[in-house]
Structures are given as C-alpha cells and as structure tokens.
Amino acid sequence: MKLGVATKAMLATVGVVVVCFVSFAVFLDVNRSAQAEATMREEIATIGENMSDRVSAWFGERTLLIELQGEKIASLDAEADASAELKYKILEDNFNAVYFGEDATGNFLIHPPQDLPADYDPRQRPWYQDVASNQATSLTEPYQDASTGNLTVTVATPVMSGNKVKGVIGGDFTITSITEMLEEVNHKGTYAFLATGDGKIIIHGNADNIGQPVGDVFGNSSLAFDGSIQDVDDAGTSSFIGFNRIGDLPAVDWYVGVVVDKGVVFAPLNESRRDAVIATIIAALAAVGVIFLVFQKVITGPLKSMTQGMQEIADGDYDVEVGFDNRDDEIGDMARAVEVFRQNGRRITEMTEEEKIAADKRIRERAEMMRELGASFGDVVDAAVIGDFSMRVDKEFPDAELNNLAHGVNSLVETVDNGISEVARVLAALADTDLTQRVQGDYHGAFLQLKNDTNEVGDKLADVISRLRSTSRQLKVATSEILSGANDLSDRTTRQAATIEETSAAMEQLSNTVLENAQEASDASTNAEKVRQTAEEGGEVMRQANMAMERITTSSNEISKIIGMIDDIAFQTNLLALNASVEAARAGEAGKGFAVVAVEVRRLAQSAANASADVKKLIEQSVAEVGDGSKLVADAAANLETMLEAARSNNDLMVSIADKSKAQASSISEINQAVRDMDETTQHNAALVEQTNAAIEQTEGQAEELDRIVAVFKLDENMTKATGNAPAARVEKPAAKAAEASAPRSAAYASSGNAALEVDPDWQEF
C-alpha cells in the first residue's frame, strides 16, 4: 500500500509519542517493583526481630522461675524438706510438672506427684547428667507429651552449694503459647515457624513439616541463617524467607523463620501495572487521534483535494475549483500556484496558431522546468518519506510562479519539520524527565493547536510532579516527626516493660517470703499450742500439789490433837504416879517397891510429856512450813494460770497471724498475677509499638522513595515555588487544632487520679 508524505509524517509522530509514553510507564513500573520488594524485605526482617524478641522473653520468664527456685533450694539446710519449694501456685500455673533430684542421695521430688519405679534414680538420667556436668541451665528441643499430646519443652538448672552440685531442678511446660504467637503473623500468604540452627523445623503450621530439614521443605539446601532475605519455593509457591536468631536461650540455637508469598506482595503492583498499561494505551490512542485529526485537517485533507484538482487540470478540465487559496500558510501558496496553472491552461486553449506554437514552446520549456521541479519535489518528498525534513527545492526557475511553488513547498516542509522537531524535542525531554521544555515556534492553525496541546501536557505534568514533590516532602517531614515520637514511645514502653518485669520478680520473692512467714507463723502457733498444753498440765500438777499440802496440813492438825491427848495422858499418869508415891510413903516398908515403880512411872510419864512436847513443836513447825509451802504452791499456781492465759492469748495471736499471713500471701499472689498480666500486656504493647514503628519506618522509606522518584524530574523553579507553598498552608490548621486539642487533655491526665503523671518527672515527660 502506497503511503503519502503526510501519512508517513503522522505515523512518525505517533511512533515518537507512543515510545515516550511506554518509556515513562516502564520507568515507573521498574521503580515501583524495586520499592515494593525493598519494603517487603524490611517487613520480613522487622517481623522476624519482633517475634524472636517475644519468644525469647516468654522462655526467659520460665527459665527465671526455675533458676529462682533452684537458688531457694540451695539456701535450705540439709535436713530441710525441699518439696514445699515445688508447690507454689506460680509454678503450677506455668509448668506441667516441677521436680528436683538430689545429688547426694538420689532422692527425687516431683509436683504434682507421679507414679515412678521404685528404683528411679534421676542421677542416671541424661537431663540430670548434662546439667550437672555443664553446671549450666539447659533447654530441650520440643517433644510430644505422651499423656496430653502437646508439644512440651523441659528447662533444667543446677542447684549449687558453693562450688558443688547439690542437685538439679527442672520443669516441663507446653509451648502452645509460642504456636499462638507464631500464628499471629499468619496473614495473606505470610506465616512464621521455628527452626534449629542446624536446619531442622521444630514448630510449623503444617504438622508434616515438623522435624524435617528446612532445605527439603523449601527446596533450597543452601539457605543461610544470617538474617538475609532469600528466595525459596514453598510448596510450589515462589516466596521470600528470612531467619532471625532467638537470643538468650540456654544451650539451644533456635531461629524464627518468616515466609511471605511473592504473589501476595506483587498482587497490588500487578493490578497497578495493568492499570498503567491501560492508561498508556488510552493516552497513546488519544494522542494518535489528536495527531490524526490535526494532520487530517491541516495537511492530508488539503493535499488530497489539491492533488485531485491538479489531476483534473492535467486532464484538460480547467473549470475545477482547487480551493484553499485563501489560507495564509504553505498550503495556501500551493493552492494559489495551482490556480495559476489552471488559468494558464485555460488561456492556452483560447490562443491562435502562432500563439499555440509559442505556447507549445513555452509549454515544453515549462514542462522541462516542471520536470526539474518535479525531480526536486521527488527528492524532497522521498527524504520526507523516510523522516528527513532537511531537504529543500534548491532550483531557481525563470518562471516566478514555479519559484513561488518551490518556495511554498520549501516553506511547507520547513514548517512541518520545525513543528515535528519541536514536538519531538519536548516529548523527548518529557521522556527524559525534563519538564521545562516547551514548543516555542510561531505557528498558526492546527500547528498552533498542536503547540498549545503539547505545551499544556508539559504544564499539567510539571504541575502534577511539582505537587507530588511538595506532598512527598511534607509527608517525609510528618513521617519523621511521627517516627521520632514512635521511637520515644518504644523506648519508654521497653523501659516500662523492664520495670514491670523487675516488679514481677520482686513480687514473686515477696510472695515466697510471705508464704515462708505464714509457714513459720503456723509452726510458731503449733509450738505455742504445745506450750499452752504443757502449762495446763503444769497447772493441774500445781493444783494437785496444793491439795496434797492441804491434806498434809489436815493430817498435821490431827497429829497435834493426838499429841495433846498424849500430854493429857502423861499428865494424868504423872498425877497417878504422884498419888502412888504418896500412898507408898504411907505404907512404909511395904510400899517401897511400889514407890520405886511409881517413881519410874512418873519418870516415864515425864519423858513421854517431854517427847510429846518435842513432837508437838516439830508438828507445829511442820504445819508452819507446810502452810508456807501451800502458799508458795498457790502463788505458783496463780502465776502458772497467768502464764497459761498469756500462752492462750499468744496462741490466738499466732493463729491470727498465720491466717492473716496466708490471706496476705493470697493477696500478694493475686497482685503478682496482676503484675504478670500487666507485664504480658506491656510486652504486647511493646510489640505493637515496634510494629507501628516498623510501619512508620516503611512509610518514611516509601516517602523518601517517592521523593527520590519525583526528584528526577526537572521543573521550572518559579512553578515549584508557586505550587509548593499551597499544600503547606492546608496542613498548618489541622496541626494547630491537634495541638490545641491535646493541650487540655494532657493537662487533665497530668493532674488527676491516683496515677497522676506529675508525681514522677519522667512520666510527666512521657
């Protein structure tokens, strides 16, 4: 198919426009793809670091509990019972079982109690031997509990007495919470798992992958555990993967792996790429339509009309109307030249024979000139066909009309050349991110419209890019301020978490101390009860002794009465002996023997009276001593009764102290649980702050990337200043309102409530 000059020029212009649009779309697509991949790599690293810190803190809490109980058991005497140290509620809440193996005797204590073989010796078990030989805390890899079926981990630590191993304490706990932590990451093609340093998976959402090598699961045997983001094949899905080491774990080397589906990452980009292709096609078609209409109206239509008119003139029809001779451009010049040919042809048909001969000569001469003009036209047209508009008709003819026609063609080609060159220059500058270039030539008609439309495109693009640049800078400033505040909040949240963790540990120690005090108070109450019972028994003995003294006093009084009767008998015997002596004296010699008997009886009566007096004196002294003893026993009984009342009161006080200590221990345990809940909440808040911080950092990076993208465009500085200040004015008012709104709220928070911030300058600053 033969193409005309105008059509070829139009196609060349359309090609330039399409290449410019496609180049610009490809440039934006490449930059957005690189930005999306960089953002995803940063997100994977952030998620991995956050998750590894949370897992480390979770294991650290339980390791700390076992180590603290190990220190308490180490401080006990050799005769003390260590089983009580395994029964604290905090241990029951965090461990399935807590146990202690004693090195000296092989005695094994476990809570809750379990049925074990009679010859079970913990010292022969690997978990005991490893910890005792290394004298360091150890953590096992997860294993499936035989009774519950849950994944379980054992932590054990040595109990040291000086430099000697006293025993090993350990605890078993399920890691369901770790699985739930890892499941929090699961979202739209993203998930996390746990693996060992030697490449074995220990926790994974797919149970079939647990225990499998990481290289086999992800089809890459050379995966590096160095924090870098690598490409893998996850069950036929192209994905990113990154590993972050879990710090502060005893005796194990574990990593958190984060996997992200590339299809999910680049899905928005693919959609935007499709939209960009559609927009590019629409813009290219619109540009082609505009160029087609311009060429059709300005060049192609007039040229076709004049070509048809010239053909009819060549066929001898001199009545045809060429038209377009009223135009002021090169088309008008060509139309006027054709009109001259038409008028000359008409005059030739009206000439005489001589005039015809002369006219034929002139026609031959003109034909020769036309041939030369046509050859020159052919060179110019052929050059224009291949896109070279630098050729001109350089022939001079005796005929002024032919010269005008040649000059008109030269002027037409020069106008087309200048217009296309300037449009191509501006479009090339736009493709090269230079938005300062404009079409400067003086054009009329359709070329003036093309000039205005091209310059309008440049102005619109410059205005859009200028506004994007201003917006990206403001976004970068705002993001930097938010990031600074988020970093400050992250630091304070971290310090708060550390403080709460220390408080939790202190409350745990206080709880243990109160429990010990309650136990000691209970023991003291038991001892006081024993003292009270002994005192009551002593009081009973004193009462019996007092009664015995009273009976002795009664018996002594009875003896005194008997002694009195003996005195009376002795007195009567003495009187009888005296009467017998008187009667013997009266009898004379016959009564001497009887007188001797009377004297002896009298002496015996006197001796009996003296002995009775001595006995009576002793009895009276004994009665006096017994009275004093009874008084002392009564006083001792009264004092013992007072002591007994005091013992009863002390026993009641000790019972009350023991009950209140238990209640206090229960309250402290509840406070400790609340502190642990607060610690966990603070840890979650810290994790959320870290995630927010990471998102803000990503936003800042994207703002910087947007700033970098728009910075490649070269703009007119006057336009930048004119458009760059408008958005800033729109931002000031909301910021000021936010500051005004936050001021009274901050003041209210700082001056009211039990937790008023003005108490602590640090919290006031926070």
Measured in whole angstroms, the distance separating CA 190 from the mean position of its chain's CA atoms is: 16
Domains and CATH numbers, the chain: 38-269 (3.30.450.20), 498-724 (1.10.287.950)
Query: Which residues 6+ apart lie within 8 Å of 179 measured at CB?
Result: 151, 203
pLDDT at 257: 94
8 A C-beta contact, residue 109 and residue 171: no
Q: How far is CA 747 from CA 742, 755, 764, in A?
A: 9, 13, 10
pLDDT digit string, tens, across residues 566-594: 777 777 776 677 667 666 666 666 666 76
> Residue 359 and residue 501: Cα distance in Å, rounded?
117
**Is 387 or 722 the better-scoring residue by pLDDT?**
387
> Residue 679 and residue 94: Cα distance in Å, rounded?
15
Tokens of 436: 């300062």
Does residue 519 have a pLDDT over 90? no
Does residue 301 have a pLDDT over 70? no
pLDDT digit string, tens, across residues 393-427: 666 666 666 667 667 777 777 777 777 777 888 88
**Is 377 or 676 the better-scoring residue by pLDDT?**
676
Q: Highest mean pLDDT: which of 52-61, 139-148, 517-526, 547-556?
A: 52-61
8 A C-beta contact, residue 678 and residue 502: no
pLDDT at 371: 67
Tokens of 41: 């790599």
Q: Residue 87: helix, strand or coil by DSSP?
A: coil
Query: Which residues 6+ apart lie within 8 Å of 370 measured at CB?
Result: 402
Please provide the DSSP assignment of 268-325 as one string.
HHHHHHHHHHHHHHHHHHHHHHHHHHHHIIIIIHHHHHHHHHHHHHHTT-TT-----T
Grade residue 172 by pLDDT with cuts at 50, 70 and 90: very high
Q: How far is CA 85 from CA 107, 418, 420, 658, in A?
A: 15, 97, 93, 19
Determine how many CB atoms are found less than 10 A away from the CB of residue 46. Answer: 20
Peptide bond just before 761 cis, omega within 30 deg: no
User: DSSP class of residue 251?
Assistant: T
pLDDT at 138: 92
Average pLDDT over residues 371-400: 66
pLDDT at 165: 92
Grade residue 731 by pLDDT with cuts at 50, 70 and 90: very low
Residue entry with tokens 């048909």: 349
pTM, whole model, 2 decimals?
Answer: 0.42
> Residue 91 and residue 65: Cα distance in Å, rounded?
8
pLDDT digit string, tens, across residues 667-696: 777 787 777 777 777 777 777 777 777 777
pLDDT at 158: 95
The DSSP H or E segment spanning 178 is helix 176-183
> Residue 678 and residue 684: Cα distance in Å, rounded?
10
> Residue 766 and residue 756: Cα distance in Å, rounded?
12
- Region class of 167: left (phi > 0), else alpha (psi between -120 and 50), else beta: left
> Residue 576 and residue 607: Cα distance in Å, rounded?
15
> Residue 86 and residue 63: Cα distance in Å, rounded?
15
CA-atom Rg of the chain in angstroms? 60
Q: How far is CA 534 from CA 4, 528, 539, 547, in A?
A: 133, 10, 9, 20
Q: How far is CA 270 from CA 36, 68, 234, 255, 698, in A?
A: 11, 56, 21, 33, 20
The DSSP H or E segment spanning 99 is strand 97-102
Task: Return the closest-CA partner of residue 573 out of 536, 606, 621, 545.
Answer: 606
Grade residue 545 by pLDDT with cuts at 50, 70 and 90: confident
